[in-house]
Amino acid sequence: METIIHHLIWYNQYLLKIISQLICFIVKYIPLKQWAHDDSHSPKYQKFKTDRLPVIIKFEKQDYRFLLEYYKWKYGKEWTPVKRRKPTSIPEHTVCPRCGAPMPYLYDNNGGKGECQCKVCGQTFVTGEKATSPLRLICPYCGRELVRVKDRKNFVIHKCVNQKCSYYLDNKRKLPKDMPGNQLYKYKLHYLYREFVIDFFKMDMNSLPKNASSLQFRKESSHIMGLCLTYAVNLGLSLRKTALAMKEIHGVDISHTMVANYLKTAACVIKPFVDNYDYKRSSTFIADETYIKVKGIKGFVWFVMDAVSRSVIGYRVSDNRGVGACILAMRMAFGKLKKLPDDFKFIADGYSAYPLAAQQFALRKDDPLKFDITQVIGLTNDDAVTKEHRPFKQIVERLNRTFKSSYRHTCGYDNFDGADYSVALWVAYYNFLRPHSCRGRFQTLNHFQPLDAANLMQDKWQILIHFGQLSCLALAST
């Protein structure tokens, strides 16, 4: 009996030794906490990330007399003026723009170059200015005030220049040890914040284009216009092939320029109806951008679609890949939503414009929307987040391929207005007229009951134009 107990104790100690070795192996070679993405912790990848918001201190007017009395009450002694060792260059009539302290309480902050600092409230200002900046941006990592370093077209870049900032030191620590000092500019090491000077939430997205023409036909009829839309949008024919089909099939002799005018007019009318339609939105949105060619120059189309209905609920054509077009596409996608579902998800790729746009939605004054961006990075499932949300990314990639199949025959657009009209017509066709296999045979994504009365596609286009006119009248009356 003692031999068996002795053997079991020895075997138990042996198992504990094996378990400890396995734990050491796992800790050394297998990370217990999986990273979101290996490259995301590289300082070179930091340029594609959006930093968290800074601490914003609003400018508040104060009274220096009240501050002096408060200091005397709290510490039992008076706040004396500045004791100067040399004559100062500060004019006698200078006062602090924040608390109104006179010149005796002002420091010469930069050696006679015009910058002063108030001893009472600590405000820094330049002599001659009537007011100071309404906001002070503070680095959330080190507490230093951000410095305005660059002015761009739509935003201003503020930077934390503190060399002892923890954000800067952490990124610098990740650099290779043999990195030469003249190569640091290739990496984003300092904390940055973009302050937008354009309010993208006040832009009118429902105004009609300036070159929208009338629907009064002098020679042809609305039926001919519906046929042109069917050939050009549904079948993806070019303008010249559409004109040729009208002549050889229907005996209607029109030019490709007239076909372009028909498409432009139809897009101007149908666009307000498609953009303001009450789509059934789910709790998951998917977004992506793809490129187009406009006179050989690269442009971009932003798509936001609903993951359940597969409808395109937001889109925007832009000549750049900036965050402005992304915000406008997301504005169209959210529509008039004032509150998001509790389980809401917004899925996109690793481009930094999406987190920056989400940041601006959280900062807006009227009905702010706070949500996180789930980013699917790369082409392989390197982490759990990417593996879970990869099917959603494939849905929007399939949408891009469908759009490109209707776009390639054009060999690019002539201008961005033409690209905008073409994309608007394609979205109307994709959402209301195109049959989708995910909805069953000959079923569209959005069932619009008035379209059931028409059997032919050219008649359905005329119905969409009719309701587009009603949308235009409703927008004009508001």
Tens-place pLDDT, residues 180-199 = 777 777 788 899 998 887 77
Q: Are residues 188 and 319 in the same domain?
A: no
Asked which of 92, 126, 160 is the last residue of a domain, the reply is 126
Is there a single domain that holds both residue 172 and residue 308?
Answer: no
Q: Of 149, 179, 196, which residue constitutes the final position of a domain?
A: 196
Residue 207 lies in a domain: no
Residue ending a domain, among 177, 196, 215, is 196
- Whether residue 142 sits in one domain with residue 121: no
Domain count for the chain: 3
- 118 and 140 in a single domain? The answer is no
- Residue 275 and residue 346 share a domain: yes
| In a shared domain, residues 347 and 409 | yes
Note whether residue 294 is domain-resident. yes
Classify each residue of 330-343 as buried b or exposed e, where b means 16 or more C-beta atoms within 10 Å of its C-beta. bbbbbeeeeebeee
With respect to residue 370, please indicate whether it lies within any of the assigned structural domains: yes
- What pLDDT, on the 0 to 100 scale, is given for residue 474? 84
Q: Is residue 119 part of a domain?
A: yes
CATH number for the domain harbouring residue 453: 3.30.420.10
Q: Is residue 345 part of a domain?
A: yes
Answer whether residue 72 is part of any domain.
no
User: What's the pLDDT score for residue 35?
Assistant: 45
* Residues 113 and 145 both lie in one domain: no
The pLDDT value given to residue 304: 95
Q: What is the pLDDT of residue 47?
A: 65
- Looking at the fold, whether 464 and 375 belong to one and the same domain comes out as yes
According to the model, what pLDDT value does residue 2 have?
A: 64
412 and 473, same domain (yes or no): yes
Residue 37's pLDDT is: 45
Residues 445 and 344 reside in one and the same domain: yes
Instruction: Let me know if residue 260 belongs to a domain.
Output: no
pTM over 0.95: no
Q: Which residues of the chain have pLDDT under 50?
A: 32-38, 131-132
- The reply to whether 331 and 465 lie within a common domain is yes
Residues 99 and 179 in one domain: no
Query: Domain of 102?
Result: 78-126
Q: Would residue 233 count as lying in a domain?
A: no
